[in-house]
Structure 1
Amino acid sequence: MARKTDVLIIGAGQAGLALSRHLTALDIDHVILDRGAVGQRWRAERWASLHLLTPNWMTRLPGWRYQGDDPQGFMHKDQVVGMLGRYARSFDAPVAEFTEVENLRQTPTGYRIRTSNGIYVARSVVIATGACDRPAVPGFAASIAPTIAQVTTRDYVHPRQLEPGGVLVVGGSATGVQLAEEIHLAGRPVTLAVGAHVRLPRRYRGRDILDWFDRCGMLSEARDPAVPTHKALSQPSLQLIGSDPPRDIDLRSLSRLGVRCVGRVDGADGNRVGLGGTLAADVAAGEVRRKRTLERVDSFIRVTADQAEPAPQGDAPFIPQDAALRELDLAALGIRTILWATGFRRSYPWLDIPVLDRTGEIIQCGGITPCAGLYTLGLPFMRRRNSTFIDGAGQDAADIATHILRHLDSSAHAAA
Structure 2
Amino acid sequence: MVTRIDTVVVGAGHAGLAVSRLLTSAGRDHVVLDRGRVAESWRTERWESLRLLGPSWMVRLPGWRYDGPERDGYLTLSQLVGHLEEYAAGLPVETGRTVQSVDAVGDGYRVVTPGRTWLARHVVVATGPSGRPAMPAGLLGLDPGVEVISPLRYRRPDALAPGGVLVVGASSSGVQIAEELAVAGRRVVLAVGRHTRMPRRYRGLDAYWWLERTGRLSRTIDTMPDRAAARREASYQIVGRAPGDPRTPDLDLGALQALGVELVGRFHEAEGHRIRLGNAGGLAATVGLADRRMHRFLDAADRRVHEDTLRGTIEEWRTAPEGPSQRPAPVRVGPTREAIDLRAEGITTVIVATGYRPHHPWLRVPVTDPDGTIRQVRGATPAPGLYVVGQRFQHRRDSATIDGARHGARDVVSHLCADDVRGLRAALFEMEETG
TM-score, normalized by length of structure 2? 0.90
Check whether the contact 2:6–2:29 (CA below 8 A) recurs between aligned residues: yes
Deviation at 1:318, TM superposition (A): 1.6
Give the secondary-structure state (helix, strand or coil) at the position aligned to 1:99: coil
Aligned partner (choices 326, 330, 333) of residue 317 of structure 1: 330
Aligned partner (choices 94, 99, 102) of residue 100 of structure 2: 102
Check if 1:131 corresponds to 2:129.
yes
Q: Partner residue of 2:83?
A: 83
What letter is aligned with 1:249? L
Deviation at 1:143, TM superposition (A): 1.2
Cα distance between partner residues in 2 of 1:123 and 1:80: 32
Aligned partner (choices 369, 383, 389) of residue 381 of structure 2: 369
Cα distance between partner residues in 2 of 1:294 and 1:74: 22
Deviation per CA, 1:77-131: give whole Å up to 9, x if none: 1111111100011xx1111101011111112221111112311011011110001
- Describe the shift of the 1:354–1:234 C-alpha distance in structure 2 as closer, same or farther (beyond 3 A): same
Cα distance between partner residues in 2 of 1:292 and 1:216: 12
Give the secondary-structure state (helix, strand or coil) at the position aligned to 1:38: coil
Deviation per CA, 1:339-375: give whole Å up to 9, x if none: 1111111111111111111222111122111111111
Give the secondary-structure state (helix, strand or coil) at the position aligned to 2:343: helix
Check whether the contact 1:372–1:407 (CA below 8 A) recurs between aligned residues: no
Deviation per CA, 1:120-179: give whole Å up to 9, x if none: 011011110001121111222221112211111111100011111100011101110010
Cα distance between partner residues in 1 of 2:273 and 2:93: 47
Cα distance between partner residues in 2 of 1:409 and 1:365: 13
Deviation at 1:279, TM superposition (A): 1.3
Check if 1:348 corresponds to 2:346.
no
Check whether the contact 1:191–1:261 (CA below 8 A) recurs between aligned residues: yes
TM-score, normalized by length of structure 1? 0.94
Matches within 5 A, 1:168-183: 168-183=166-181
Deviation per CA, 1:209-234: give whole Å up to 9, x if none: 11122223321222226655531222
Deviation per CA, 1:9-44: give whole Å up to 9, x if none: 100000000011111111111111101100000011
Cα distance between partner residues in 2 of 1:311 and 1:291: 15
What letter is aligned with 1:271? H
Q: Partner residue of 2:262?
A: 260
Q: Partner residue of 1:115?
A: 113
Deviation at 1:338, TM superposition (A): 0.4
Check whether the contact 1:99–1:117 (CA below 8 A) recurs between aligned residues: no
Aligned partner (choices 226, 232, 235) of residue 233 of structure 2: 235
What letter is aligned with 1:14? H
Check whether the contact 2:378–2:411 (CA below 8 A) recurs between aligned residues: no
Q: Partner residue of 1:282?
A: 286
What letter is aligned with 2:35? R
Deviation per CA, 1:227-254: give whole Å up to 9, x if none: 5553122213311010034700111010
Check whether the contact 1:59–1:391 (CA below 8 A) recurs between aligned residues: yes
What letter is aligned with 1:118? R
Q: Partner residue of 1:392?
A: 404
Q: Partner residue of 2:431?
A: none
Q: Partner residue of 1:414?
A: none
Deviation per CA, 1:61-86: give whole Å up to 9, x if none: 11111111111110001111111100
Cα distance between partner residues in 2 of 1:252 and 1:226: 31
Check whether the contact 1:262–1:320 (CA below 8 A) recurs between aligned residues: no
Q: Partner residue of 2:429?
A: none
Cα distance between partner residues in 1 of 2:227 and 2:295: 25
Cα distance between partner residues in 2 of 1:300 and 1:367: 31
What letter is aligned with 2:12? A
Q: Partner residue of 2:27?
A: 27
What letter is aligned with 1:113? V
Cα distance between partner residues in 2 of 1:58 and 1:134: 26
What letter is aligned with 2:231? L
- Describe the shift of the 1:358–1:25 C-alpha distance in structure 2 as closer, same or farther (beyond 3 A): same
- Describe the shift of the 1:382–1:11 C-alpha distance in structure 2 as closer, same or farther (beyond 3 A): same
Check whether the contact 1:380–1:388 (CA below 8 A) recurs between aligned residues: yes
What letter is aligned with 2:70? D
Check whether the contact 1:196–1:237 (CA below 8 A) recurs between aligned residues: no
What letter is aligned with 2:71? P
Check whether the contact 2:221–2:227 (CA below 8 A) recurs between aligned residues: no
What letter is aligned with 1:261? L
Check if 1:249 corresponds to 2:251.
yes
Cα distance between partner residues in 1 of 2:271 and 2:389: 39
Check if 1:338 corresponds to 2:350.
yes
Q: Could you list the runs of 5+ residues in structure 2 that have no partner in the other structure?
A: 424-435
Check if 1:61 corresponds to 2:67.
no
Give the secondary-structure state (helix, strand or coil) at the position aligned to 1:247: coil
Cα distance between partner residues in 2 of 1:197 and 1:141: 20
Deviation at 1:316, TM superposition (A): 4.6
Deviation at 1:263, TM superposition (A): 1.2
- Describe the shift of the 1:322–1:192 C-alpha distance in structure 2 as closer, same or farther (beyond 3 A): farther
Give the secondary-structure state (helix, strand or coil) at the position aligned to 1:125: strand
Q: Could you list the runs of 5+ residues in structure 1 that have no partner in the other structure?
A: 412-416
What letter is aligned with 2:141? S
Cα distance between partner residues in 1 of 2:105 and 2:408: 26
Deviation per CA, 1:33-62: give whole Å up to 9, x if none: 101100000011110000001111111111
Give the secondary-structure state (helix, strand or coil) at the position aligned to 1:81: helix
Check whether the contact 1:262–1:322 (CA below 8 A) recurs between aligned residues: no
Count of paired positions: 408
Q: Partner residue of 1:296?
A: 300
